[in-house]
Amino acid sequence: MSRTLRGRLLGAALMLLVAVALASCASGTENPAVVPTTAEGYPIVNQDRLRFIPKKLTIPAGQTVLFRNSETAIHDVLVDGVNISGNMRKGDEVVYTFESTGTFTITCSFHPQMRATIVVVPPESFTPVARVED
């Protein structure tokens, strides 16, 4: 392989690597993941390893979200400070429908470090994205 061809291939590979890195940064996450859903199509927010997974989720108004405790610690789910779940043991689930648009803070009163954000947008401006922050 000639030195010129090798240089061009190396340059093209480097440009591709930079493009992938920039696309990852533009999505707002360093570790994109697919949001799991229920059979009904509800996105799932897991309580696991003392955190909410995903950490940020964007959904259309009217969307129901399933919150699941996937660990042995007792948790609850507060939406903007309002408890929607009561105490949740491992395997417990609660569903909540986000009717209005806005940015909602999700917390656990037992573990203040557990925080997530759910952004609710008008249905007509929602574009499904398979990436989230976790």
Say what the pLDDT of residue 30 is: 34
Task: Identify whether the C-beta of residue 76 lies closer than 8 Å to the C-beta of residue 108.
Answer: yes
Give the model's confidence band at 3: pLDDT under 50 very low, under 70 low, under 90 confident, else very high. Answer: low
Residue 74 is part of a domain; what is its CATH number? 2.60.40.420
pTM to 2 decimal places: 0.72
Q: Among residues 35, 62, 67, 80, which one has the least CA distance to residue 120?
A: 62
**Percent helix, strand and coil across the chain, each rounded to 5?**
20, 35, 45
Q: 66: domain range?
A: 44-125
> How many domains is the chain built from?
2
Q: Is residue 130 part of a domain?
A: no
> Is omega for the bond preceding 54 within 30 degrees of 0, making it cis?
yes
Instruction: Report the percentage of the chain scoring pLDDT > 90.
Output: 62
Phi-psi region of 9 (alpha: psi -120 to 50; beta: other; left: phi over 0): alpha
Q: In terms of pLDDT, which residue wins out, 22 or 128?
A: 128
Instruction: Please determine, for residue 37, whether its predicted confidence score (pLDDT) is greater than 70.
Output: yes
